[in-house]
Structure 1
Amino acid sequence: MARATSRRTVLGAAIAVAAGAGALSSSAAAADRSATSGAAGRTARSVDNRFWSSYTDWHRGTPDGTRPSAGRRAGVVIARPAGTVEYTDPHTGRTEPWEYGSWTSPVHRSTVPATEVVASWNARTPPGTWLQVELAGTYSDGSATPWFVMGRWAAGDEDIKRTSVDDQTDGRATIWTDTFSVDDPASGVRLSSYRLRLTLYRRPGARLTPVVWRLGAMASDVPDRFTVPASEPGPARELAVPRYSQNIHIGRYPEYDNGGEAWCSPTSSQMIIEYWGRRPRAEDLAWVDPAFDDPQVCHAARQTFDHQYDGCGNWPFNAAYAATYPGMNAVVTRLSSLTELERLVRAGIPAITSQSFLKEELTGAGYGTAGHLMTVIGFTPDGDVIANDPASPGNDAVRRVYRRREWENIWLRTKRYNASGRVVSGTGGVCYLYWPEHPSPAQRRALAAVGIH
């Protein structure tokens, strides 16, 4: 659990230092009360989602060696390559030439001047192909960022090693694995607008091409808060989501983030992928020891592994993995309340949520964590959260019921106190949403209500 989101802790520590945060004090407690009351009265959304996914969307961007592809699902592909580039894989040391073409989105002016941005993409990368996603934007004072790499990705790991890129900063913002983050939000600096640049690669002379069906980002400025207002429970519903434990995989394939001990994210992803009726093919699992139960969880860990971060908790890599299955869409976003999550569940859409907490903050969990992913599958008549928690001793123990008020707070807060009394970050409602290409009308409305189109 801790390894899967360890850089979130680093990010939280950096923000805390920038804000002058330290041990618990009366002034910190006052800030807690102020943040809570302010959030209760705030009506403006703190999250902006923009995704390009239609044939019209792809025509609105700027191509360089690429073209829109109509097909069953509109996308963008390599047409006549713009050139050839040498790429040295930092994780293998191998240098190879690659043909490439790029597509750059129109400038998107976010409805939320942002302190954080997370990109997502849905794509197919046949063997011998891969892609890179970059972000560049304009700050609220009119100055520009450089192009930041948000990920280098392939569905497999034979051609390049899937990777984030460390040590990217312009002195005002930093890329923390998969997240663009303003270094000092208290300064008032925000990212007002951005563009995404997609570069598609293939081996020289090949006819294959990556196909990208969805590209976009979630921009947010979630207010600092140690607690959030309590919400009123909605109607009860529980979805029949498969249950998988990460802990039965402890010690298996330690080259992928120390084995199952840190596989909360891919285990959660696999649960929802199978909820939607998708599974790996037998040939996809041929590499897994046949003596292992639930080999698809091992497969999910390998297919989400970030070789720079050295873990399986890269948020966009998990979404991209889910979208490799036929007819699937996937994004990383933030929700603002349990009410929004309840609406999704009522429509039949479970969600993967990210949270961190001390052992005593979540009754029944039996552990504390600096960062953990679990799958929300329903709500009880009293409004308590029904979660498939992969941090369980076995599959039969995965289904948990957590107290609404406790769970709501550990998921939606942006600040918390760790075991040493220091201020560190919370994820502020981060979640992964996976859904089929043709959702029901109710599912479409529920997604639209949280800004996903």
Structure 2
Amino acid sequence: MRRAEQPSRRTVLAAAVAAAVTASAGPAAADPEALMTTDTADPARGVPARTVDNRFWVSFGDWSGGTAKGTRAVAGARAGVVIAKPAGTVDYTDPHTGTTAAWEYATWTSPVHRLTVPATEAIVSWNAHTPAGTWIQAEIKATYTDGSSTPWYVMGRWAAGDRDIRRTSVDDQKDTKSTVWTDTLAIDDPSTGLRLASYRLRLTLHRKPGTKATPTVWRLGAMGSDVPDRFTVPASAPGLAKELAVPRYSQEIHKGRYPEYDNGGEAWCSPTSSQMIIEYWGGRLTAGQLEWVDPAYDDPQVCHAARFTYDYQYAGCGNWPFNAAYAATFKDLQGVVTRLGSLADLETLIAAGIPAITSQSFLKEELTGAGYGTAGHLMTVVGFTADGDVIANDPFSATDEAVRRVYRRREWENIWLRTKRYNASGKVVSGTGGVCYLYFPARPNAAQRTALAAVGVRV
């Protein structure tokens, strides 16, 4: 997220699993109701077999199929789960304010999902409406391939606002086999062959006692993945020339602004990228929502995105699920976190009009024309040239006008898809292995549905 080569929790995660060369594990039985990424390997184009399993709960049938304790499923254009009758009351002490308050709560627990790709990592994401006086907690409990289980891990305590609680990840969660690193549950030593075989997700919906307010959760899911350790990936053949008209915003013009949110604009690549795509889909903030921003600042919506993606524990705006959840607070938008397997996947999305936010890390000399190196940075992919090169809105630019960049295809796909790399000191550290955020309409058209299904995202 910053341009300098600095350690990040992604680097810490890599250090925890650095000894691993991914070992295979036997396939688990598939969940017949899930729409998951399928094997669409295309060796002729350099498209590898898939290593990702997505399962999302989104329909009325999905929400009716879980275990409810005080919640109920609601139908409609956006089916979801809400508080019906609270299961009880709990005191919560906010670690970032020190305030203790009582909250009514209700829970929904998913059925067991057996991963078609026994996973080394899992990332949970959600879309929800949390009116004033409400918030949610998302958890995961996984079963290992050796038959043992994780504890219930908290993957986020979240509200769209920041008045009732401070949205937060939870540190210091681990057992003897896995650890939660901010937003990612990871096997500690994949070289043993141990994997996550299945999981359940649990939502806890909270509201102030005595009120009728309720959160509504529209989407909940997890991305499990087992991406082979690799310093390089096979080259893919170009398949599309198209560019989407995505707004361009620079994080750099916000340098020094609102340092309480991740030290200001210098570190705002994730919310800046999120705001670009939100506005591409028509998402707009009102004057009332922006009245807290200094009127002298250009692009105040970027400041707003930074504030409302900020993770108070991580002390940054780069929590992946928090960005997806922020996008889904805009009318008729959805957001997910997943991994893609190749530039062909991005071409499929771009062809259907869906831009993507990608996470990558690189040395200055590894990406021609960037002019910087980074231990972790988000960009918005908006298209491909006739030669197959990547057109990216890179928020690490001096002005909004300078945001559009063209990066060499081979360089770009390698820095995005690899899982290991050498940093400026020659140390082996992590790469993100194809992580991306996808934001798309609540009611996508046929072409968009087909493209999302092709990359394993159920709508």
Settle same-fold status: TM greater than 0.5. yes
Q: Is the 8 A contact 2:107 2:202 kept in 1?
A: yes
Aligned to 1:95: 100
Deviation at residue 41 of structure 1 after TM alignment: 9.1
Q: Which consecutive unaligned segments of at least 5 residues does structure 2 have?
A: 22-42
Query: Equivalences for 1:17-416 in 2 at 5 Å?
Result: 18-19=19-20, 44-416=49-421
Aligned to 1:32: none
Q: Give the AA of the match of 1:405.
A: R
Q: Give the AA of the match of 1:337.
A: S
Q: Is the 8 A contact 1:5 1:372 kept in 2?
A: no
The alignment partner of 2:209 has SS state of: coil
**Matches of 1:324 and 1:151 in 2, distance apart?**
16
Q: Is the 8 A contact 2:46 2:234 kept in 1?
A: no
Identical columns (%): 75
CA displacement, residues 52-78 of structure 1 (integer Å, 9 cap, x when unaligned) = 000000011000000001133100000
CA displacement, residues 63-95 of structure 1 (integer Å, 9 cap, x when unaligned) = 000000113310000000000000000000000
Q: Give the AA of the match of 2:378.
A: L
**Matches of 2:379 and 2:217 in 1, distance apart?**
27
Q: Which consecutive unaligned segments of at least 5 residues does structure 1 have?
A: 21-37
CA displacement, residues 8-47 of structure 1 (integer Å, 9 cap, x when unaligned) = 121122222x449xxxxxxxxxxxxxxxxx9x99954200
> 1:401/1:42 Cα in 2 relative to 1: closer, same or farther (>3 Å)?
closer
Aligned to 1:23: none
> 1:311/1:104 Cα in 2 relative to 1: closer, same or farther (>3 Å)?
same
The alignment partner of 1:373 has SS state of: strand
**Matches of 2:397 and 2:176 in 1, distance apart?**
41
The alignment partner of 2:401 has SS state of: helix
**Matches of 1:102 and 1:376 in 2, distance apart?**
37
TM-score by length of 2: 0.93
Deviation at residue 280 of structure 1 after TM alignment: 1.1
CA displacement, residues 88-128 of structure 1 (integer Å, 9 cap, x when unaligned) = 00000000000000000000001100000000100000000
TM-score by length of 1: 0.94
Q: Is the 8 A contact 1:164 1:306 kept in 2?
A: yes
Aligned to 2:11: 9
Deviation at residue 304 of structure 1 after TM alignment: 0.1
**Matches of 2:373 and 2:309 in 1, distance apart?**
24
Deviation at residue 225 of structure 1 after TM alignment: 0.6
**Matches of 2:72 and 2:139 in 1, distance apart?**
18
> 1:383/1:289 Cα in 2 relative to 1: closer, same or farther (>3 Å)?
same
> 1:99/1:219 Cα in 2 relative to 1: closer, same or farther (>3 Å)?
same
The alignment partner of 1:374 has SS state of: strand
- Give 1 or 2: higher helix fraction: 1
The alignment partner of 1:284 has SS state of: coil
**Matches of 1:113 and 1:63 in 2, distance apart?**
27
Aligned residues: 435
Q: Which runs of 4+ in 1 moved over 6 A?
A: none
The alignment partner of 2:17 has SS state of: helix
Q: Is the 8 A contact 1:415 1:423 kept in 2?
A: yes
Deviation at residue 437 of structure 1 after TM alignment: 1.2
The alignment partner of 2:253 has SS state of: helix
Q: Is the 8 A contact 1:46 1:220 kept in 2?
A: yes
> 1:375/1:416 Cα in 2 relative to 1: closer, same or farther (>3 Å)?
same
**Matches of 1:283 and 1:103 in 2, distance apart?**
34
Q: Give the AA of the match of 1:190.
A: R
**Matches of 2:387 and 2:308 in 1, distance apart?**
38
